[in-house]
Structure 1
């Protein structure tokens, strides 16, 4: 015949797998921190669970806000540096394009001046180009 009586089952979820005296498993027995919206009337909570360590947290939050402001200033300075570098590069590219256009105009001018003197050697044509440039006040580096 089966045993007739009351069966009892004991479940200990907080200390599951914890051996007495073992300090490595203390995190199982720690209580959770409850946020204000989770707390209800009649709950027996510790100061840590009620977040009553607010003074130290307020200081940390204040310091964090100061850091955020500092980070915003850093971000703005980085953006300003980027903008300055971008416009500097744009100005340099415009300057290069302008110089190329001036050089091509000078080369056209010289080729028109020397068309009639095609029989001259390279050395004499260079001398003539320099003289022509000096007389016309156009600067060209040869």
Structure 2
């Protein structure tokens, strides 16, 4: 299986909406991801197999030195095959090339091993207010 990864790759909203619905277990929404990422993100990474979008991660930022991983998505039947870790590696590379100094991520507890072990993030103290 050959997977290609592209920083700021082209995609269709319907493809990301389908991945997001599957990844976060909700109905398919009609989000304008193209507008969102072009307006607010440092970049994003698309993973493709035979031209089909099978993975996606959004890299938001503060316009300075902090970038943030959001919406790491891999098609369900391809999870645990290394695609997610490669998406994050490409995101790290893109953020580093943009001269960011920090790449943040928050996640549910069941993804701890993925982000810490497979992707190399380190635990930090952080705060959160549920709105």
TM-score, normalised relative to structure 1: 0.18
- Relative to its length, the structure with more helix (as a share) is 1
- Relative to its length, the structure with more strand (as a share) is 2
Bigger Cα Rg: 1
Larger relative contact order (CA 8 Å, sep ≥ 6): 2
